[in-house]
């Protein structure tokens, strides 16, 4: 195992502390070996963190001191860059993400701009807008009118295990940039990247005590205290739609503001005028990081006229794919996060066979030579009907459903026939044609011909059951603020 210094303590009110519930174990999903222990918070610990965040927002100038916030964000950027390589190894060990992906969305891509962008936006954001002077008939007065943007308050940030650093740093960057304070609750499967962040904030930045708190807990209901507490103003959650609905329900009592980035069942439409090789190459995407991505394009729609040719291409691609050691730079498909998740994915594969889809490659059996670790074979289903379970439910594993379509209208209908609306892709020989089809898709994040509009300046989120609000961009900044209209005599 690479030499990595894990931080086992959480961070509450500026101090690195143990948990009142003791500790819990962090497991390497590629080897099933114990990485170490981490502080296990009680509900009382969580409420201490909430109280600290509330005090920091209400009683310090964090929410109004723009230049100070900017400086603190850049200090954190510098601290993270100094430990980039340790963080890389830590993510591979606790997330099971392939090394190659840490040079993209797991680490290097968000580290490039997730803090720098909001730090820059602090200077550029329209904190105050003038609506000009007007005669207001209800008062009979000439009136000056302004609109202020102010930070929302205390944010409960709840993070999943699949891209934990990426999601955390995007939430932290924008919440702190707007002047909010934060209680961060990482997933129990991947706590160390968050506790490292807590240590860096406590030891290497001027971020005041209570502005950021990191609470690790094995009990998911400790995290639910964020949703229930009237002292928390906004929940920023990335995870499953099932949990997102529970947050909406439980948060209703205190009228919680919500940002929810939830599940997906994204489709790639390969149009008849497309380069079929490029279109079928998109079919490999669900195998990246073992399919553990909410925006993974897990449905591939091929025109009936080119269907058999495309299936043969995909078959050859999947036969050449094997899951493997995430430490190997050539690995694309690593392990699933846990034995529970592996069992869930195997259940979906068995369901696909049971409902009549043709499993062309893969299957629920343990991959050859991988008796340790939570691995699943990359699995290719063809002749899938969009009403089947594997075409409708989010599997979160390396499973692709290939669906034939009759014409363009049929392709758009199939792509939109899902409760989700997170992402989608269109492959075409004509950019204008692809853009025209993209406009018809009910999804929030569309790629054309293999591109992805990823970045801290690009809003990310979905329609329908894929969530509420957007992460990143000025749209993401907006959701961490409240609007105040102000009028006074002209």
255 CB neighbour count, 10 Å cutoff: 9
Could you say which DSSP state residue 418 is in? S
Reference 477, options 237, 171, 228; nearest CA is 171
Catalytic site includes residue 261: yes
State the virtual CA torsion across 209, 192, 467, 303 in degrees, nearest 10.
150
Q: Give every CB contact of residue 63 below 8 A, 6+ residues apart in sequence.
A: 57, 150, 151, 179, 180
255 phi-psi bin (left φ>0, alpha ψ -120 to 50, beta other): left
Catalytic site includes residue 294: yes
Burial 38-77 (b: 16+ CB within 10 A, else e): bbbbbbebbbbbbbbbbbbbeebebbeeeeebbebbebbb
Give whole-number Cα distances, 200 to 16, 80, 195, 437, 439, in Å.
10, 7, 9, 46, 43
- Chain-centroid distance of CA 104 in Å reads 14
Cβ burial of 347 (10 Å; 0-12, 13-18, 19+) is: middle
Q: What angle do CA 369, 371, 377 make, to 5 degrees?
A: 70
Catalytic residue among 261, 287, 333, 394: 261
8 touches 39 (CB < 8 A): yes
379 touches 399 (CB < 8 A): yes
Give the C-alpha separation, 382 to 5, whole Å: 45
Catalytic residue among 97, 180, 287, 294: 294
Give the C-alpha separation, 167 to 263, whole Å: 14
Alpha helices in 238-306 (DSSP H): 241-251, 276-281
Block residue for tokens 């295990």: 161
318 touches 361 (CB < 8 A): yes
Residues tagged active-site: 261, 294
């Amino acid at each position: 195992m690479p030499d990595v210094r894990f931080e086992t303590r959480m961070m509450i009110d500026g101090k690195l502390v143990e948990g009142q519930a003791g500790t819990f174990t962090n497991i390497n999903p590629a080897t099933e070996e114990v990485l170490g222990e981490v502080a296990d918070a009680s509900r009382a610990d969580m409420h201490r963190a909430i109280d600290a965040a509330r005090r920091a927002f209400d009683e310090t100038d964090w929410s109004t001191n723009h230049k100070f916030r900017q400086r603190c964000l850049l200090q954190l950027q510098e601290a993270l860059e100094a430990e980039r390589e340790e963080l890389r190894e830590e993510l591979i060990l606790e997330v099971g993400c392939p090394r190659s992906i840490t040079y993209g969305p797991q680490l290097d891509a968000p580290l490039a701009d997730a803090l720098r962008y909001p730090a820059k936006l602090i200077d550029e954001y329209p904190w105050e807008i003038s609506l000009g002077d007007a005669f207001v008939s209800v008062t009979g007065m000439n009136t000056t009118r302004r609109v202020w943007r102010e930070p929302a308050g205390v944010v409960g940030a709840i993070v999943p295990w699949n891209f934990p650093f990426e999601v955390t740093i995007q939430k932290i960057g924008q919440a702190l940039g707007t002047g909010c304070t934060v209680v961060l609750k990482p997933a129990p499967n991947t706590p160390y990247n968050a506790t490292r962040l807590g240590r860096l904030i406590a030891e290497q930045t001027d971020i005041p005590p209570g502005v950021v708190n990191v609470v690790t807990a094995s009990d998911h209901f400790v995290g639910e205290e964020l949703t229930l507490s009237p002292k928390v103003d906004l929940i920023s959650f990335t995870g499953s739609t099932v949990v997102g609905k529970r947050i909406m329900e439980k948060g209703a009592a205190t009228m919680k503001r919500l940002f929810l980035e939830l599940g997906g069942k994204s489709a790639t439409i390969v149009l008849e005028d497309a380069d079929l090789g490029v279109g079928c190459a998109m079919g490999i995407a669900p195998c990246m990081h073992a399919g553990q991505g909410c925006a993974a394009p897990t449905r591939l729609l091929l025109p009936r006229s080119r269907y058999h040719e495309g299936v043969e291409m995909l078959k050859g691609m999947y036969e050449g794919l094997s899951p493997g050691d995430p430490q190997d730079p050539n690995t694309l498909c690593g392990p699933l996060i846990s034995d529970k998740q592996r069992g869930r994915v195997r259940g979906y594969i068995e369901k696909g066979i049971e409902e009549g889809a043709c499993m062309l490659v893969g299957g629920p059996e343990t991959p050859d030579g991988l008796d340790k670790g939570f691995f699943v074979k990359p699995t290719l289903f063809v002749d899938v009907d969009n009403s089947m379970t594997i075409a409708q439910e989010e599997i979160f594993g390396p499973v692709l459903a290939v669906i034939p379509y009759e014409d363009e209208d049929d392709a758009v209908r199939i792509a939109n026939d899902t409760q989700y609306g997170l992402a989608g892709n269109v492959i075409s020989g004509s950019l204008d044609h692809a853009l025209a089809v993209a406009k018809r898709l009910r999804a929030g994040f569309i790629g054309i011909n293999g591109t992805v509009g990823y970045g801290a300046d690009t809003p990310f989120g979905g329609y329908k059951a894929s969530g509420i609000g957007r992460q990143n961009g000025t749209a993401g900044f907006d959701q961490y603020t409240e609007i105040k209209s102000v009028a006074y005599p002209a």
